[in-house]
């Protein structure tokens, strides 16, 4: 403030609103983008880049034809080459690229800091990584998408959503009671299409039907504390690399992309069994007949019997999609009360793989080709046919009579 009596200027702290300026431009390499700069010291800058704008410029330079609607590519002349161009973005020298962009909103940076030279430290505030599945026939997506949304909203539990987004869940399948993050799933109609979103804290995975022919699955990461990256410890570049906490710095941007793609893949794998044209009666008929496995008769499976229904529901859980299931996993799920003695634990371990007195449950599932053993391990994966059968049975069991009548009409 100005002290007129003493004819001098004094510095006085005062709370005021900080102003920001937005610079929008069509960059020759990145396409339409913007930068947001704080007008107060230290002049922090936030840059927003669109990977598809960047990809469009790259395809133009490579002479590849494409069709684009808003932020979607609904046709690509050479999808494989387009994907390779997209992958090159992760190999960029991010500090150099971002420093060049920073000169535009603040061209006086070098002059202002001539006495104390400094550069920006670039970190990733928010990242969005999407997987696009293009449909040649929009009618196929229009028929399939409502089933995907219904399945995602009614079937995926909080534990499933947590595993999609890389969160650890106990073997019991129930989230820890001290979990601070909120787990939410919802469906909304957006201008781009119907959107289903699953959120754990500040991270989320969502799905759109965009432009009528694009199935869009996108993982958004704001909080990286739950993820790891394989690198040397901080300030120890010569140390042996190990799994360390992921940083927000652009140095870990490639790992953030890997984690996001893994989230998309897990979500799509869990949805892969929804669409099947085989009649439900035909699927269940195969289970309701005895089969012969290695010369031994194996009984039929009754999807409506409480024990068999619980067994089918157990193997369909989302936590087993990636790493498979084990004997002890079934024991935790099929017995509400944990074993208190070693003898009781042995009995539960035996009972968890048996039905009645003779038939083993895992053998039962293997004989009906619902699961397959992973070689040299004690783990089992649900087969493609098994996931189709189990998903159909669970969906039918959860549907009400009104929904079934409407589908049959």
**Apex CA 64: angle with CA 60 and CA 66, to 5°?**
90
CA 6 vs. chain centroid, Å, equals 64
For 291-308, what is the mean pLDDT?
84
Which tens digit of pLDDT belongs to each residue from 143-190? 889 888 988 888 788 888 888 888 877 666 666 677 778 889 999 887
Residue given tokens 């469906």 in the structure block:
187
Q: In the chain, what are the domain boundaries?
A: 1-122, 123-275, 280-408
Residues 75-122 pLDDT 10s:
999 999 999 999 999 889 999 999 999 988 888 888 888 888 888 999
Mean of all residue pLDDT scores within the chain: 83
Q: Is the pLDDT of residue 201 over 50?
A: yes
pLDDT at 352 over 50: no
CB hemisphere CA count around 103 (13 angstroms): 7
Q: What is the pLDDT of residue 373?
A: 84
Q: What is the pLDDT of residue 175?
A: 67
pLDDT-wise least confident of 173-177, 311-315, 368-372:
173-177
Confidence check: pLDDT of 301 > 50? yes
Q: How confident is the model at residue 355 (pLDDT cuts 50, 70, 90)?
A: very low
Distance, CA of 77 to CA of 319 (rounded, Å): 38
Torsion angle of alpha carbons 219, 223, 225, 231, nearest 10°? 60
Q: Could you tell me if 393 and 284 are in contact, meaning their C-beta atoms sit under 8 angstroms apart?
A: yes
The pLDDT, as a whole number, for residue 129 is 95
Which H, E and C letters describe 367-409, residue by residue?
A: HCCCEEECCCCCCEEECHHHHHHHHHHHHHHHCCHHHHHHHHC
User: Is pLDDT at 230 greater than 50 in this prediction?
Assistant: yes
What share of the chain in percent tops pLDDT 90?
A: 33
The mean pLDDT of 17-33, rounded to a whole number, is 91
233: Cβ contacts below 8 Å, ≥ 6 apart: 239, 242, 244
Task: Extract the tokens encoding 368.
Answer: 């009906």
| pLDDT surpasses 80 at 279 | no
């Amino acid at each position: 403030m100005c002290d007129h009596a003493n004819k001098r200027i004094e510095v006085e702290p005062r709370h005021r609103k900080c102003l920001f300026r937005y610079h929008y431009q069509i960059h020759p390499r990145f396409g339409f983008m913007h930068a947001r700069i704080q007008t107060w010291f230290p002049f922090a800058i936030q840059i927003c880049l669109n990977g598809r704008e960047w990809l469009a410029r790259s395809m133009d330079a490579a002479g590849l034809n494409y069709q684009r609607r808003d932020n979607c590519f609904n046709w690509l002349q050479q999808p494989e080459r387009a994907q390779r161009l997209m992958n090159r973005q992760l190999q960029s020298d991010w500090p150099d690229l971002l420093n060049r962009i920073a000169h535009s909103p603040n061209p006086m940076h070098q002059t202002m800091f001539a006495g104390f030279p400094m550069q920006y430290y670039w970190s990733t505030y928010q990242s969005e990584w999407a997987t696009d599945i293009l449909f040649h026939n929009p009618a196929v997506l229009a028929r399939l998408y409502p089933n995907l949304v219904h399945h995602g909203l009614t079937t995926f539990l909080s534990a499933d959503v947590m595993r999609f987004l890389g969160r650890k869940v106990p073997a019991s399948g129930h989230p820890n009671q001290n979990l601070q993050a909120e787990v939410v799933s919802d469906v909304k109609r957006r201008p781009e299409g119907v959107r289903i979103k699953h959120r754990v804290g500040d991270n989320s995975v969502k799905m759109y039907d965009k432009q009528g022919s694009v199935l869009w699955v996108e993982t958004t990461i704001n909080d990286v504390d739950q993820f790891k990256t394989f690198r040397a410890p901080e300030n120890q570049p010569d140390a042996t690399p190990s799994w360390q906490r992921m940083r927000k710095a652009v140095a870990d941007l490639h790992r953030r992309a890997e984690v996001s793609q893994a989230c998309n893949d897990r979500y799509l794998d869990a949805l892969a069994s929804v669409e099947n044209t085989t009649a439900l009666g035909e699927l269940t008929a195969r289970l309701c007949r005895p089969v012969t496995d290695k010369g031994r008769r194996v009984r039929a499976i009754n999807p409506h019997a409480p024990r068999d229904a619980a067994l089918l529901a157990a193997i369909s859980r989302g936590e087993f999609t990636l790493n498979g299931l084990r004997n002890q996993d079934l024991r935790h799920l099929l017995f509400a009360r944990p074993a208190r003695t070693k003898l009781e634990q042995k009995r539960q371990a035996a009972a968890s793989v048996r039905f009645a007195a003779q038939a083993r449950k895992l053998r039962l599932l293997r004989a009906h080709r619902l699961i397959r053993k992973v070689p040299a391990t004690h783990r089992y994966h649900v087969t493609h046919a098994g996931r189709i059968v189990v998903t159909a049975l669970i969906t039918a069991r959860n549907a009400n009579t009104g929904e079934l009548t409407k589908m049959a009409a």
